[in-house]
């Protein structure tokens, strides 16, 4: 089975050459003001909106992960299309992207099935929160293989156990997909999003309950729990809102990227 592209041409361009122009533009802007940290990241938190809005924020995180030498990535994202209990583990031999196919990490997939007995619900996997990550992974990490996990009504503790298990394997990383607050004024969005940023930076699950409105907050909480348990350190790379691209400050969406190191 192949995981077809469901949001190519909407959330991101359907042609590889157009995506490359985005990535080159994002990287050029970043490099004019900053330097990509040369460190081995174990995990990322990245946004999942259209590339014109959140691509810059995600791009710098994948450039960090590019230097980490990972061979397998667990991509975790919330379901936006259907509601269900628990999580769905994708079971696809290949994941299509405009840059070519990404292979499924059969080793990690089998281990997760055996360890956690996760179901596969195909209808949950026409999901943009995970899919928008695939072109970044294929472009920046080449032959790296992936496993896709989409969750709906799930406990953060359950996903944290999966993250712990994956990060305990050799050459493995985790990508957590989330956007932040939705459709507030820029001022209010900044206030709410700062709660999320502080929670990530301080690895403080309790802070999330003080106003964070991330759509992928379950995944974020799970990552924070795992980072504390595994002794990882968090680093915020970029924060911005859709207003940076659209100029509209009346109804914005917030985006953050962060990486985790030992």
Reading the block at residue 191, the tokens are: 């206030």
Provide mean pLDDT across the span 135-149.
97
pLDDT given for residue 26 in this prediction: 98
The runs of H, that is alpha helices, within 16-133 are: 16-33, 51-66, 106-116, 128-131
For residue 5, the model assigns a pLDDT of: 98
Mean pLDDT, residues 212-226 taken together: 98
3-state secondary structure of 169: coil
DSSP 81: S
Q: Which domains does the chain have, with CATH numbers?
A: 2-261 (3.40.830.10)
Angle in degrees, CA 256, 260, 262, rounded to 5: 165
pLDDT band at 227 (very low <50, low <70, confident <90, very high): very high
For the chain, the farthest-separated pair of C-alpha atoms sits apart, in whole angstroms, at: 48
Rounded CA-CA distance 54/66 in Å is 19
- The pLDDT value recorded for residue 199 is 98
Average pLDDT on 159-172 reads 97
pLDDT value at residue 70: 97
**pLDDT tens readout for residues 22-63:** 999 999 999 999 999 999 999 999 999 999 999 999 999 999
What's residue 180's pLDDT?
Answer: 98
88-115 pLDDT tens trace = 999 999 999 999 999 999 999 999 999 9
224 within 8 A of 197, measured Cβ to Cβ: no
């Amino acid at each position: 089975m192949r995981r077809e592209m469901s949001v190519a041409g909407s959330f991101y361009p359907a042609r590889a050459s157009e995506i490359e122009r985005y990535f080159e533009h994002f990287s050029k802007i970043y490099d004019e003001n900053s330097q990509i940290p040369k460190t081995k990241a174990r995990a990322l938190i990245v946004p999942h909106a259209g590339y014109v809005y959140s691509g810059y924020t995600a791009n710098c995180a994948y450039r960090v992960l590019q230097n980490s030498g990972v061979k397998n990535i667990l991509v975790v994202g919330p379901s936006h299309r259907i509601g269900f209990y628990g999580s769905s583990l994708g079971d696809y031999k290949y994941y299509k992207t405009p840059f070519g196919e990404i292979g499924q990490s059969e080793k990690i997939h089998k281990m997760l099935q055996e360890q956690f007995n996760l179901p596969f619900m195909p209808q949950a996997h026409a999901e943009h929160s995970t899919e928008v990550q695939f072109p970044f992974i294929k472009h920046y990490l080449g032959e790296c293989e992936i496993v896709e996990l989409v969750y709906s009504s799930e406990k953060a503790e359950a996903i944290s156990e999966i993250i712990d298990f994956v990060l305990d394997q050799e050459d493995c990383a985790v990508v957590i997909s989330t956007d932040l607050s939705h459709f507030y004024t820029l001022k209010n969005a900044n206030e709410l999003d700062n709660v999320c940023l502080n929670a990530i930076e301080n690895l403080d699950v309790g802070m999330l309950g003080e106003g964070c409105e991330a759509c992928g907050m379950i995944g974020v909480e799970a990552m924070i729990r795992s980072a504390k348990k595994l002794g990882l350190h968090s680093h915020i790379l970029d924060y911005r809102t859709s207003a940076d691209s659209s100029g509209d400050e009346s109804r914005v969406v917030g985006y953050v990227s962060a990486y985790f190191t030992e």
